Structure 1
Amino acid sequence: MTNLWSSADHALKYLAIADTLPHRTEGEGVLLEHVPKTVQRILDLGTGNGRLLSLLKIDRPQAKSIALDFSPTMLEAAQTQFADDETVQVIAHNLDEPLPTLGTFDAVVSSFAIHHLSHERKRSLYQEIFTLLEPGGIFCNLEHVASPNAKVHEQFRVAIGISEHPDDRSNILLDVETQLQWFRDIGFDDVDCYWKWLEMALLIGIRP
């Protein structure tokens, strides 16, 4: 599978449309409601330009945060975003590889990143995230998920204005229920899809 995210052109095209995705802010709003404002450490996987972490930091300025990405274009954008925030560390890391030793976290978040991984790697990453979380820690994955059929998939493509373009070859989409079951099997509590619109979904689990 070709991963296009090392391409500056691919990354920049994504950034150009990211803020225009219908209902994205709804999903982000639900995520923000569920991450406690008292968290002390946040890990953002596939941070992109730092959009989600920036939103989290508005009400959690005290949280020391680590932002991971592997796209040079995204890393540059995130470093610019957090240039004046000493509480945020931006690290280059490809999520295809096991997570580096980073300590433990009160919250691990991700926004439209994990769907680029193989299904096997998704599952192993979820296990790594569980291990990184403090007891009571929360994992929030705002994600691009698979539709139940081709008709609904095409509805989504029309809704976000890409029906005239081919599917992104770096998308490896998986249905919500399979991923929620993985969360349960790994040991997460309070597992559910907390918000969904077509192929955009917020999956949450808590480490007991």
Structure 2
Amino acid sequence: MSDLIKEQFDAVAQSYDLQRRQLIPCFDDFYSTARDWVNIDKKSPRILDIGTGTGLFAAYVQQKYPEAQLTLIDISEEMLKGARMRFGEDPNVQYISGDFATYAFDGQQYDIVISSLAIHHLAHEDKSRLFHKIYTRLTEGGIFVNADQIAGTSAYFDNLYKEQWEHTINQSGLPNEVIASAIERRKLDRNATFEDQLKWLSDAGFAEAECIYKYNEFGVFFAQK
């Protein structure tokens, strides 16, 4: 993942959570659907959150599994500071400051892997490689829930999604400089279609894979090993 992405997220880390609800038009459905699909028959599952940011998605999942063993990885140390503030001294939460695209996770196995609004920053070939890595890190029957951005099936839809998103955030009440910063960050996005992402999940070996929620360019994927 590029240094530019790290720098941009370092810069907005302190206000990221406050802004996110207004920058994601479908915020409640997006995160509630992702959380609802994190289901496994274990009281204390081992959960890896890839590109955790400030730990927002992980916190939703922890509400469901309060005894979960959480591992949070992010390339932005400033974002991880937000996660550390969120979880305090919780002994069940571990932190990794590193690039999830290249981090090896040697010997580590997880029951659940989650991610939100992170993987779309990778080049497409790196997304595919990451899905393979996630598959190998999951226990048998383990699940992967990815709440992320999705490309349209054509430039026509991509342009419509962009126009609708910018119209919505311009009506959000956010300061102009915050809106301008969000639009600038979006220039680094490398969204993939849901068809491509499902193919990469299948190619990685997942027995089941589906896009179980979609609102314009925001979607939730579920896959099971």
Same amino acid, percent of matched pairs: 29
Q: Which digits, 9 at most, give the CA deviation of each residue in 1:93-149, with x for residues without a partner?
A: 112314322511111000000111111111100000000111111101100121232
1:204–1:10: structure 2 CA closer, same or farther, 3 Å change rule? same
Matched letter for residue 35 of structure 2:
L
Matched, 1:59 2:64: yes
Task: Find 2:121's aligned residue among 84, 107, 116.
Answer: 116
Q: After the TM superposition, which residues 16-165 of structure 1 pair with which residues of structure 2 at under 5 Å, given as runs? A: 16-20=18-22, 21-36=24-39, 38-39=41-42, 40-101=45-106, 103-148=108-153, 149=155, 150-161=159-170, 165=183
How far did 1:193 drift?
A: 0.5
After the TM superposition, which segments of 4 or more aligned residues of structure 1 sit over 6 Å from their partners?
Answer: none
User: Residue in 2 aligned with 1:4?
Assistant: 5
Match of 1:177 in 2: 195
Counterpart of 1:116, as a letter, is H
Separation in 1, partners of 2:3, 2:73 = 20
The total of aligned residue pairs comes to 207
**Cα displacement string for residues 31-59 of structure 1 (whole angstroms, at most 9, x for unaligned residues):** 22221254410000011111111111112
Is the contact made by 2:13 and 2:82 (CA closer than 8 Å) also made in structure 1? Answer: no
Superposed CA offset, 1:160-202 (max 9, x none): 4458944623211111110111111222122111001111000
Q: Which residue does 1:204 correspond to in 2?
A: 222
Higher helix share: 2
TM-score normalised to the size of structure 1? 0.90
- After superposing the two structures, state which structure 1 stretch, 103-112 or 156-165, moved more: 156-165
* Corresponding residue SS for 2:186: coil
Structure 1 unaligned residues grouped into runs of 5+:
none
Which residue identity is paired with 1:24?
A: F
What SS does the corresponding residue of 1:179 show, helix, strand or coil?
A: helix
Normalized against structure 2, the TM-score is what? 0.83
Query: Structure 2: which amino acid aligns with 1:105?
Result: Y
Could you tell me which amino acid in structure 1 is paired with residue 188 of structure 2?
A: S
Residues in 2 aligned to 1:22 and 1:151: alpha-carbon distance in whole angstroms: 14
Q: Mark the runs of 5 or more structure 2 residues left unpaired by the alignment.
A: 171-178
Deviation at 1:4, TM superposition (A): 2.6
Is the CA contact (8 Å cut-off) linking 1:95 and 1:117 kept in structure 2? no
